[in-house]
A = this chain, B = another copy of it.
């Protein structure tokens, strides 16, 4: 089965997107749990709960938030703002309210974007008790002076923060892991956020279908920031020892471009393998990409790459958070993304992970002079043919540069090709006993 054959269908992706879309997710509460229950149809996520008030490193798990309804109605009972139309209308984590007030008072609790008058902004108040409504600027300008009733039927009370994870075991004996992490705390937004959990789920399914995996794969679904911190509080020490690579899966749904944000280490194996993959993909399909250095704002790589962990975790995205005008508004919807792009994102993740699987540190067994490829049938017996064969050249690169200093990715860079271009040749040379795994190398 090729990687392409293991991709989800457009219909399947769209079905799950449509089911997840309307749910009002947040850091905590029923919306998060209901969404995770849907993902569990695709991945065997194991749920964990952390009680409100628990200290996780420098943070404290907040009270659990649940919401039933929210609206603003005018004196004649018309709902001028209605949570049922968009769950972005309520300031996320709003405390409950039910009160009549004049427009000028209400106005202090309204949030809109004058520069994007048709967009509802996405705002949260996780760590400060207040309430509010978000609406388009056009909607706001239509509000007439008068009395309004603001109603938010929410609860904020001790409860739990929920997260899920699943470990897909390697087919060989190893404690080495690859981490994939996404978040599930955003209400109805498409690129940021549903693209992340969807791509991750289908990466899981495709990896599960593979006959061989050299690494254990850890799939983590958390609420952003606090969830990743809570996860590290519980699993960080394990990850420090075993996590050899990781990717934060987010913003991978739009069709515009491909972006890779390096890990804080900057040139970790996963960084080099993703870039090798994107370079190869560009060569084959003309798709360009950008590579960004790590920066400490962003998504959960902030936590995985905090100096106390400094894990080799990057992020493979399309249009990165903060760079497109629809970001964190109601315009980041189904029309902003493309299901073909989602499919392609799954493929890019699978290619990058395959490159990482292939990126062994091999050593050549014939170190003095080159090995005689001819008697192994690997060299044209009309030896001086004018065309230097690409295959011979790649084998020569492997046999010369697999000296214990270079992993496959480094050899590929020298040879001007990609890891996967070398991998089949490496495999032949391993069978011939000309290359062996470097003793004691974890990857």
Mark A residues whose CB is within 8 Å of B. Answer: 56-60, 91-92, 111, 113, 121-128, 130, 225, 228-229, 232-233, 236, 264, 293, 295-297, 302-303, 305-310, 322, 327-329, 364, 366-372, 374-375, 381-386, 388, 392-393, 396-397, 399-401, 403, 414
B296:A236 contact, CB within 8 angstroms:
no
Q: Is the CB of B58 within 8 A of A372?
A: yes
Contact B127 A368 (CB under 8 A): no
- Which 4 pairs of residues, A with B, have the shortest CB-CB distance? A308-B367, A296-B400, A308-B368, A128-B381
Distance of A370 from chain B, by nearest CB (Å): 6
Q: Hey, which chain B residues are within 8 Å of A130, CB to CB?
A: 381
Cα A312 to Cα B113 in complex, Å, equals 52
Instruction: Please state if B369 and A399 are interface contacts (CB–CB under 8 Å).
Output: no
Given contacts A307-B364, A364-B307, A366-B57, A296 and B399 within 8 Å (CB-CB): yes
| A319: min CB distance to chain B, Å | 15
- Contacting residues, chain B, for A60 (C-beta < 8 A): 372, 375
Interchain nearest-CB distance for A174 vs B (Å): 26
Q: Residue of B at shortest CB range from A382?
A: B123
12 contacts between A and B (CB under 8 A): A60-B375, A113-B386, A123-B384, A124-B383, A126-B383, A128-B381, A297-B392, A302-B396, A302-B400, A308-B367, A322-B386, A322-B388
The answer on a CB contact under 8 Å between B371 and A58 is: yes
Tell me the nearest residue of chain B to A57, going by C-beta: B369
Query: Known interface pairs A384-B123, A388-B322. Does A296 touch B370 (Cβ–Cβ under 8 Å)?
Result: yes
A364 contacts across to B, CB distance below 8 A: 307
What 4 new A-B contacts, CB under 8 Å, besides A91-B382, A127-B374, A307-B367?
Answer: A123-B383, A305-B400, A308-B368, A328-B386
B-side contacts of A92, CB under 8 Å: 384
| Pair A125/B56 contact, Cβ less than 8 Å | no
What is the minimal beta-carbon distance from A20 to any residue of chain B, in angstroms? 19
**Are A368 and B236 interface neighbours, CB within 8 A?**
yes
A125 touches B59 (CB 8 A): no
Given the interface pairs A368-B309, A369-B58, A400-B302, the reply to whether A127 lies near B383 with Cβ below 8 Å is yes
Least Cβ distance of A171 to chain B in Å? 31
A368-B57 CB under 8 A given contacts A296-B400, A327-B386, A388-B322 = yes
Give the chain B neighbours of A382 by CB distance below 8 A.
91, 111, 123-125
In the complex, the answer to whether A369 meets B59 with C-beta atoms within 8 Å is yes
Cα distance, A111 to B382, chains bound together (Å): 10
A58: B residues at CB distance < 8 A? 366, 369-372
Tell me which residues across on chain B come within 8 A of A302, comparing CB atoms: 370, 396, 400
Please measure, in the bound complex, the distance between the C-alpha atom of A339 and the C-alpha atom of B153, giving whole angstroms.
Answer: 70
Do residues A306 and B381 form an inter-chain contact, with CB atoms below 8 A? no
Nearest CB on B from A331, distance (A): 12
- Other-chain contact of A228, B57, B232, B369, B397 (Cβ < 8 Å): B369
**B367 and A397 contact, CB distance less than 8 A:** no
Check A122 against B401 for contact (C-beta < 8 Å).
Answer: no
In the complex, what distance in Å separates the CA atom of A126 from the CA atom of B375?
11
By the criterion CB–CB under 8 Å, are A296 and B57 in contact? no
Chain B residues with Cβ below 8 Å from A127 are 372, 374-375, 381, 383
Pair B124/A297 contact, Cβ less than 8 Å: no
Chain B residues in 8 Å Cβ range of A295: 393, 397, 414
Instruction: Tell me the complex Cα distance, A29–B322, Å.
Output: 68
Separation of A297 and B400 alpha carbons in the complex (Å): 10
A113: chain B residues at CB < 8 Å are 386
Query: Which residues of B are found within 8 Å of A372, using beta-carbon distances?
Result: 58-60, 127
- Which partner residue on chain B sits nearest A236 by CB separation? B368
Most buried by B among A58, A233, A264, A399: A58
| Alpha-carbon distance A45/B128, docked complex (angstroms) | 59
B-side contacts of A414, CB under 8 Å: 293, 295
Within the complex, the shortest CB–CB distance from A4 to chain B, in Å, comes to 33
Using Cβ atoms and an 8 Å threshold, which residues of chain B touch A122? 384
